[in-house]
Amino acid sequence: MLKTDFLVIGSGIAGLTFAVKTAKRFPDKTITILTKVNTDETNTKYAQGGIAVVNDLTRDSYEKHIEDTLVSGDGLCDRDIVEMVVKEGPQRVNEIIEWGAQFDKGPGGEYMRGKEGGHSENRILHHKDITGMEIERALVEEAKRFPNIEIHNHWYVVDIITQHHLGYLVTKSTPDIECYGVYALNLHSNRMEKILAKITLMASGGVGQAYRSTTNPRIATGDGVAMAYRAKARIENMEFIQFHPTALYEPGVSPSFLVTEAVRGDGGILRNKDGEAFMPRYDARADLAPRDVVARAIDSEMKRTGTEFVYLDCRQMDKEKFIAHFPNIYKRCLDIGIDVFSKMIPVAPAAHYCCGGIKTDEHGRTSLQYLYACGECASTGLHGANRLASNSLLEALVFAHRCCEDAAQKIDGIPFRDAVPDWNASGTSEPKEMILITQSLKELQQVMSDYVGIVRNDVRLGRAMSRLDLLHDETEELYKTTTVSPQLSELRNLITTGYLVVKSAHFRKESRGLHFNTDYPKKSELLQDIVL
Ligand code: FAD
Ligand code: SIN
């Protein structure tokens, strides 16, 4: 058994920022970070475009960033949260700069600012086209400076511990459900450990692996959202899965390599197979319309022309500038035989970001006592029906700070729950056939991609649900009799994630933001969040 004051699940921007802030504030308290693979293998590491922030009020304004976020969110953002994140953002970004994160500067020492879809100004701070790698590097180095932070890699968290594990009946309507820590599989010893914590932060990232084609790395299996749902926490707006318009089209390669939207911000143009720059036909903002609009336009062009991709044309762009800003994309394209100055890049939309998640308030508090959520697994009200590009890293920084501030007020009054029993593995044995897991994963990804993609309708959602029901029943049967492994648990979590997406999509009888249902093509008058 392990005991810690603060338990952090995840070592991306959300988890590490919270850990560093908490460690600084409480040198005498312990902070334990659990990650299921290596510390830096996170969605954060793959972020390309950068971080949206207003840090020069002579060129930009909070009001414009707020307005852009609200327009992109298509009526469902929480305005107070948007204002708070935009206004607190600059201070939080300055903090990670102080901790060593470097963003590109021009010859005069001023920050270079990129542009992406839905932004009315150039405001994206970036580190070439590997911003996430730089932020992750700086945060890991900063976290390692604190002796009271312990990072346990290759510890797979399986479930959140609540009163349920003390033998009480816990339902969604139970008041004051409390989180006492987690059960986690130590993958070094292969032992299931009980970890008791006064405060737990869920910072477990995204869900992209629910789809066949995704920009998200293998770790993005919706574990945090599924665990929180099992523990009876409120989950919100899961129907809003964001598809990035321009993932490199390479059949059979997973995850898909992203071609950042900043390329379009610098002058890249989308063309269909006939060479037509089609975006102006769909939206006056053309290639820099918000992401939901561009992804839907590409989907429509692919269907109309019978192709599996469209092109991103960079041939007209300044060679020197392109290579300086996007060296990684330039090299990756060259590796597959595409010199972007003479050939167009084949691109297609891929599942990229989950705008919904574990519902939190403005302090990152979930509906469970002592459980906070931050980063991509959380639904804070910032993104509404469609996240504005590069607002995710910003949200994680602002909310990690807020979670830390709030938890700091509470920590001293919270006891450990020593009565929590050890994990009960009775009646289970080692899996006999891994194919039962791997094949179900493929089926799930197929169902989600074919029936719950960019364009939906009620028949497809109904089909998806009946197939998910079958996968759920088979997997629960297997779970009851099989020793827990990350593979089995991830499958189970992805099926739960799929279920939450389909169920929320089914309840939303309108088309808004990222959710487009041809049976209800218009927006409803009623503005509502779907909470499960
Ligand atoms: P992550 O960084 O994904 O970290 C999740 C952590 O949780 C990992 O450490 C993982 O090991 C751990 N974990 C998960 N499940 C378990 C478990 N069961 N047990 C133990 N540990 C677990 N956003 C922007 O704002 N700007 C961008 O330019 C941008 N570009 C992007 C490019 C790509 C290719 C991708 C995929 C995303 C991009 N995003 C961008 C989105 C952004 O990167 C993510 O939303 C953000 O980094 C998520 O951070 P996080 O801390 O919430 O989670
Ligand atoms: C990108 O660089 O295009 C991704 C930015 C984001 O997901 O916010």
Per-residue model confidence (pLDDT) at position 9: 98
Question: Same structural domain for residues 230 and 376?
Answer: yes
Query: Would you give per-residue pLDDT tens digits along the chain (532 residues)?
Result: 899 999 999 999 999 999 999 999 999 999 999 999 999 999 999 999 999 999 999 999 999 999 999 999 999 999 999 999 999 999 999 999 999 999 999 999 999 999 999 999 999 999 999 999 999 999 999 999 999 999 999 999 999 999 999 999 999 999 999 999 999 999 999 999 999 999 999 999 999 999 999 999 999 999 999 999 999 999 999 999 999 999 999 999 999 999 999 999 999 999 999 999 999 999 999 999 999 999 999 999 999 999 999 999 999 999 999 999 999 999 999 999 999 999 999 999 999 999 999 999 999 999 999 999 999 999 999 999 999 999 999 999 999 999 999 999 999 999 999 999 999 988 898 888 899 999 999 999 999 999 999 999 999 999 999 999 999 999 999 999 999 999 999 999 999 999 999 999 999 999 999 999 999 999 999 999 999 9
State in Å: Cα 260 to ligand 2 middle: 6
pLDDT at 70: 98
Same domain? 288 vs 367: no
pTM strictly above 0.85 = yes
Inter-residue contact 329 to 266 (CB < 8 Å): no
CB 269 within 8 Å of CB 277:
yes
Same domain? 176 vs 290: no
Interatomic CA distance for residues 130 and 104, integer angstroms: 11
At position 402, the amino acid (one-letter code) is: R
Which CATH number does the domain housing residue 64 bear? 3.50.50.60
Active site residue 25: no
Options 264, 291, 417, 492, the catalytic residue: 291
Alpha helices in 38-78 (DSSP H): 43-46, 62-72
Q: Say if residue 341 is in the same domain as residue 363.
A: no
- Predicted confidence at residue 288, as pLDDT, reads 95
Task: Determine the residue of 40, 41, 42, 261 to mutate for testing ligand 1's pocket, defined as the one with the most ligand atoms within 8 A of the Cβ atom.
Answer: 42
260 lines ligand 2 (CB under 6 A): yes
pLDDT of residue 429: 87
Cα dihedral 62/68/71/72 (nearest 10): -130
List C-alpha distances in Å: 377 to 70, 366, 393: 20, 11, 12
* DSSP code for 426: T
CB atoms within 10 A of CB 1: 10
* Interval between CA 129 and ligand 2 midpoint (Å): 10
Cα(497)–Cα(139) distance, integer angstroms: 29
Asked whether the beta carbons of 201 and 9 are under 8 A apart, the reply is yes
Ligand 1 pocket at CB < 6 A: 9-15, 34-37, 42-44, 46-51, 131-132, 156-157, 203-206, 215-216, 219, 223, 258, 353, 375-376, 390-393, 396
Closest CA to 484 of 442, 395, 435, 423: 423
Same domain, 69 and 127: yes
What the block records as the tokens of 332 is 């990756």
Asked whether residue 451 falls in the same domain as residue 492, the answer is yes
How many other CB atoms are there within 10 angstroms of residue 164's CB atom?
17
Give the residue, out of 68, 85, 116, with the most ligand 2 atoms within 8 A of its beta carbon, to mutate for a pocket test: 116
Buried b (16+ CB within 10 A) or exposed e, 334-351: eeeebebeeebbbbbbbb
The enclosing domain of 513 has a CATH number of: 1.20.58.100
CA-to-CA distance for 176 and 304, rounded, in angstroms?
Answer: 52
141 with 208, same domain: the answer is yes
Running DSSP on this structure, what letter comes out for residue 267? T
Q: Whose CA is nearest to atom 52 of ligand 1?
A: 375
Q: Which of 350, 371, 405 is the last residue of a domain?
A: 350
* Structural domain containing residue 252: 247-350
Domain co-membership, 38 together with 123 = yes
By the 8 A CB rule, do 363 and 238 touch? no
Q: Is residue 41 part of a domain?
A: yes
Residue nearest to atom 47 of ligand 1 (CA): 44
Look up tokens 């990650």; give the residue. 35
Q: How far is residue 105's CA from residue 103's CA, in Å, rounded to a whole number?
A: 6
Q: What is the pLDDT of residue 1?
A: 87
